[in-house]
Amino acid sequence: AYLARRGTPQSPADLEHHDCLVFSGTPGAAVWRFKLDQDAEYRIRLYGRIWVNSLDALVTMAKHGAGIVRVPSWQVGADLAGGHLQRILRRHEPAPTPLHLLFQPSRLPSTKTRAFADFLVDHWLKRDPFVAGVDGL
């Protein structure tokens, strides 16, 4: 609904003319970073008209046409697949944020810990196809 009404941004700079819904639960959330090419990054400081500290609330507002949101892909996979949300600016997406699972180096993980780690890896690989290309899993 929003993109049909306001148009689809073609570059990160176009976001300055759009209603961006901003997550305020983390420091620096008012700056969105985009990849321009192999070595260049574009940063846009957002003065969103709506600031929320709930990713679920942001997604709901975006689905109802309130504006453009930037959230982790795992948060909106079903909405993207169902056509409720549309992915934009794909060629400008920054590198994925890594997800780390750490073990204490002084001892081997217990069977329960290893099973939990295996579950997490399997869960994330199935849930988010973008994670599948990450090294070290």
Each residue's pLDDT tens digit, 34-85: 998 878 889 998 877 788 889 999 999 999 999 999 988 878 888 998 999 9
Per DSSP, the residues of 103-126 read: --TTSPPPHHHHHHHHHHHHHHHH
The answer to whether residues 62 and 22 touch, using CB atoms and an 8 Å cutoff, is no
Choose between 92 and 108: higher pLDDT. Answer: 92
pTM score, whole prediction: 0.73
Q: What is the mean pLDDT of the chain?
A: 84
pLDDT at 136 over 70: no
